[in-house]
Amino acid sequence: MTRAELAGKIDLTLLSPVATELNIASLVADGLNYRFASVCVPPCHVALARSIIRDNPLKITAVTGFPLGFSSADSKLFESVEAAGCGASEIDMVMNVSLFKSGRTSAVEKEIRRVVEALPGAVIKVIIEACYLTDQEKRLALELSVNAGARFVKTSTGWGPGGARVEDIRLLHDAAQGRILLKASGGIKTTGDALEMIGAGADRVGSSSGVAIVEGFYG
C-alpha cells in the first residue's frame, strides 16, 4: 500500500459541536491536499464544504441522526435528503439502537431502506454503534443493513462509550462475506491503528487524525 492508497481509505472527520466554519475550511483544505476518500462533516456545513471543493473529486460525507440515532424515521430521511441536496455524496446514518434493542428490527431495516431508496446515487453507511451491541446483535445489525441495501456498516459514532475495535471488524468481516463494506471509526488516532483496522477487514477508516495517520506512513 502506498501513502496515497492509505489516504484514499480515510474519511477525514470533524464532528465537534464547536467546530467553526474556519475549522471546516481547514479540514477541506487538508482533504484536497492529501486526497482523502472524503471529508466527514455535520449537515449544516455540507454546503460550505461543497463551495470550497467545487469541481475537485473530493467527496463529502454527512452524518445524519447523529450521534444517538433515535430521531424519527421521517426526520432522519429528511436530514439525509437535504444533506445530499447540499452536496454530500455519502451519508453516515446512525441506526436506531433504541428500536433495535426493543426488538423492532423490521422498523430499523425499513428506516435504512427508505434512505437508500431515496438516494440511489449516494453511498449509505449505517453506524451500528457496536459498543452497545452483543456479538449476535452486531451480526443482526449487519444483516439488516445488507437487506436494506446499504453500502457500508460503520462501527461507531465516536461519541459512545467505546470506539472501533479490531475484534468487531474481524467479526463483521466474517459475517459480511463480501456483501457489504466496513468502516472502522472511533478513536483511531495513529498509523498503526488505521493499518490494524484495514488489515482486519475495514474498507474505510474514519478519523479526525487522518493527516497524522498519512504522515506517519512509510510503507
The chain-wide mean pLDDT, for the chain, equals 97
CATH for 3-215? 3.20.20.70
Give domain limits for the chain.
3-215
Percentage of the chain with pLDDT > 70?
Answer: 100
Active-site positions?
92, 154, 183
> Average pLDDT in the 77-89 region?
98
pLDDT digits (tens, 9 = 90+) for 5-64: 999 999 999 999 999 999 999 999 999 999 999 999 999 999 999 999 999 999 999 999
Which DSSP symbol is given to 203? S
pLDDT of the residue at 218: 85
Q: How far is CA 172 from CA 37, 55, 161, in A?
A: 21, 35, 19
Return d(Cα 151, Cα 64) in angstroms, integer.
15
pLDDT digits (tens, 9 = 90+) for 116-141: 999 999 999 999 999 999 999 999 99
Residues 174 and 203 sit within 8 Å (Cβ to Cβ): no
pLDDT of the residue at 219: 67
Return d(Cα 218, Cα 198) in angstroms, integer.
16
